[in-house]
């Protein structure tokens, strides 16, 4: 034990602090957690909250999300899209872009960042990630780092495109944490994302794109039984 540690802990122990009970966080969220009348209302709240902070929501289905992605890449004139390594979605994107968007080059995140830092910072226009789950109350996406899906995908490129299965939407952060059993197995990085990077550090004026992505587009994957027009989307 280092001397500093020993001295600090000794001083703390000498204080003989009285034990204080741990509050029941679960009971608080059971009583006060966010509730909605229906899944549709909840989904609408999530989308409205994300849109309020400059996030673009595109309602998609399993059948059309690749086409929608291709359209977004064309609209934003994306030359280089970084995708995860060997995930199902990533493989589908690579195959689709090769046919439908040959002008967009796919960069697969399959090498250590040190080897491609300059490329990531200078040449990648957009990064694609999947979303582990959504949080309705605060309009949030929860991203989960893995060997296939590095942090850089949602962080370095100026545009972040996220594929979110809306069936994994939870009421609040507490419900999401419980459902994912997060305390039992945290990955090296979990990040909650609620919009593109922003700052109000200059004269309290809000500006987007401070350091991370300037734009965030969510491809929100709807189950077949939800009609996108009910969520304010074009048919």
Partner 1 sequence: MKPTEAASRYFKIEAVKALDDNHLRHSLRGAMDGLMSKRRATLANEEELQRLRTVCEGIRQHALSRLPELLEQLEDKLTELGVHVHYAEDKQEACTIIHQIAQAHEAKLMVKGKSMVSEEIHLNEFLAEQGVEAVESDMGEYILQLAHEKPTHIVMPAIHKTKDQVSELFHEHLGSPLTDDVDELIRVGRSALRDVYRQADLGLSGVNFAVAETGTLCLVENEGNGRLSTTVPPVHIAITGIEKVVAQLSDVVPLYSLLTRSAIGQNITTYFNMITGPRRHQELDGPQEMHLVLLDNGRTQAYADEQMRQTLQCIRCGACMNHCPVYTRVGGAAYGTTYPGPIGEIISPHLMGLDDTHDLPTASSLCGACAEVCPVRIPIPDLLIRLRTEAQRSPNEVVPHPIRGQGAAHSVSEQMAWRLFAGVSSHAFGYRLATQMATRLRALTPKRQLGWTQNHVPLRPAAKTLHQMVKEKNNT
Q: By CB under 8 A, what part of segment 19-48 binds partner 1?
A: 19-23, 25-26, 28-29, 31-32
> Which strand (E) or helix (H) includes residue 141?
strand 140-144
How many residues form the binding site for partner 1 (CB under 8 A)? 81
Q: Which residue is it, tokens 């944490």?
A: 177
The CA–CA distances, whole Å, from 176 to 133, 222, 233 equal 7, 19, 26
Output the six-digit token pair for 177.
Answer: 């944490």
Question: Which of the ranges 67-75, 141-149, 163-171, 224-232 carries the binding residues for partner 1, by CB under 8 A?
Answer: 141-149
Strands 105-108 and 80-83: parallel
Please tell me whether residue 129 binds partner 1 under the rule CB under 8 A. Answer: no
Single residue of 74, 179, 210, 230 touching partner 1 by CB under 8 A: 210
> Which strand (E) or helix (H) includes residue 92?
helix 88-100
- Minimum CB separation from partner 1 for residue 76, in Å? 17
Please tell me whether residue 234 binds partner 1 under the rule CB under 8 A. Answer: no
- Minimum CB separation from partner 1 for residue 196, in Å? 7
- Minimum CB separation from partner 1 for residue 92, in Å? 21
The CA–CA distances, whole Å, from 44 to 15, 48, 103 equal 51, 6, 35
Single residue of 127, 134, 157, 213 touching partner 1 by CB under 8 A: 213
Single residue of 38, 204, 225, 235 touching partner 1 by CB under 8 A: 204
Single residue of 39, 53, 64, 71 touching partner 1 by CB under 8 A: 53
Q: Using DSSP, state whether 171 is helix, strand or coil.
A: coil
Task: Please say which residue, 9 or 230, places its beta carbon nearer to partner 1.
Answer: 9
Q: Give the span between the Cα atoms of 71 and 169, in whole angstroms.
A: 25
Nearest to 89 by CA among 162, 174, 192: 162
* Binding to partner 1 in span 148-177, by CB under 8 A: 150-152, 155-156, 172-174, 177
Cβ count within 10 A of residue 84: 23
Task: Please say which residue, 152 or 220, places its beta carbon nearer to partner 1.
Answer: 152
Question: Which of the ranges 58-66, 92-100, 109-117, 223-231 carries the binding residues for partner 1, by CB under 8 A?
Answer: 109-117
């Amino acid at each position: 034990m280092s001397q500093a540690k020993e001295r600090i802990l000794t001083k703390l122990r000498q204080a003989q602090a009285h034990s204080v009970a741990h509050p029941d966080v679960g009971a608080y969220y059971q009583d006060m957690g966010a509730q909605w009348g229906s899944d549709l209302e909840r989904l609408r709240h999530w989308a409205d909250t994300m849109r309020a902070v400059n996030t673009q929501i595109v309602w998609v289905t399993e059948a059309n999300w690749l086409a929608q992605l291709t359209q977004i890449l064309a609209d934003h004139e994306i030359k280089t899209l970084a995708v995860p390594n060997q995930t199902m979605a990533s493989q589908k994107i690579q195959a689709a872009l090769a046919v439908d968007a040959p002008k967009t080059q796919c960069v697969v995140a399959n090498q250590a960042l040190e080897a491609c830092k300059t490329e990531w910072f200078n040449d990648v226009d957009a990064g694609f990630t999947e979303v582990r789950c959504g949080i309705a109350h605060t309009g949030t996406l929860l991203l989960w780092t893995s060997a296939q899906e590095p942090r850089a995908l949602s962080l370095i490129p100026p545009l972040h495109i996220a594929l979110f299965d809306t069936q994994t939407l939870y009421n609040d952060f507490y419900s999401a944490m419980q459902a994912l059993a997060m305390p039992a197995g945290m990955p090296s990085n979990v990040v909650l994302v609620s919009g593109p990077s922003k700052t109000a550090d200059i004269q309290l004026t809000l500006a987007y794109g401070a350091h991370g992505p300037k734009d965030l587009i969510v491809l929100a994957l709807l189950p077949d039984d939800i009609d996108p027009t009910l969520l304010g989307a074009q048919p």
